[in-house]
Amino acid sequence: MNTQPKAAVIMGSDSDFPVVKKCITMLKKFGIEADVNVLSAHRTPEAAATYAKEAKANGIDVIIAAAGKAAHLAGVLAAHTTLPVIGIPMKSSTMDGLDSLLSVVQMPKGIPVATVAIDGADNAGILAAQMLALKYEEIAPRLAQFKADMEAEVLSKNEKIKQEAMAE
């Protein structure tokens, strides 16, 4: 059994990387190693299937897959593994990502993909951390701190906006 938390971060194209790197940053924040690859359901179908089939044996705990347009990557990976798969629909087409969203989220019964928002790379990293916190207890306090920091930031913005509104 692996003792280090490890997530696979797969993107359908290197053109997805500017968005996907936010997910990698988030995983690192929670102490989760990221195995990052460009693999495509359409352009490298065999390599993608092999990666998913071997992921568990290679110490991967969760797979995050980002793809755009006819975005089958997350679903194809999910078809070849029992690991949880999180899909990030990419806003990479002329349809503003709605095509990607539907391709990722509308999985048939039996092969679920936990889908985050269009370009929701940060949330994919946070959701993966929440899953892995069930297995690696050191992640839970990091998540709690993250949420506390976020709350403090919003409350501080609330005070600032109140002051600005009073000064109008």
Site string for ligand RP5, 91-130 (x = CB under 6 A): -x--------------------------------------
Q: Does 68 bind ligand RP5 (CB under 6 A)?
A: yes
**Among positions 5, 8, 10, 13, the unique one binding ligand RP5 when judged by CB under 6 A:** 13
The least CB distance from residue 39 to ligand RP5, in Å, is 10
Of 67 and 79, nearer to ligand RP5 (C-beta) is 67
CB of 67 to ligand RP5, least distance (A): 4
| Alpha carbon distance 15, 58 (integer Å) | 26
User: According to CB under 6 A, which residues from 34 to 63 bind ligand RP5?
Assistant: 40
Spatial distance between the Cα atoms of 152 and 160, rounded to a whole number of angstroms: 12
Closest to ligand RP5 by CB, 52 or 90? 90
> Exposure pattern of 135-155 as b/e (b: 16+ CB <10 Å)?
ebeebeebbeeeeeeeeeeee
Contact segment (CB under 6 A) with ligand RP5 among 8-16, 28-36, 45-53, 135-143 equals: 8-16
Minimal distance, residue 102 CB to ligand RP5, in Å: 14
**How near is the Cβ of 59 to ligand RP5 at its closest, in Å?**
25
Distance CA 155, CA 25 (A): 24
User: Site size for ligand RP5, by CB under 6 A?
Assistant: 10
End-to-end CA distance of the chain: 60
- CA 129 to chain centroid: 10
Coil, strand or helix: which one is 52? Answer: helix
Q: How many other CB atoms are there within 10 angstroms of residue 55's CB atom?
A: 23
CA gap 126, 114 in Å, rounded: 12
Binding site for ligand RP5 (CB under 6 A): 12-13, 15-16, 40, 67-69, 90, 92
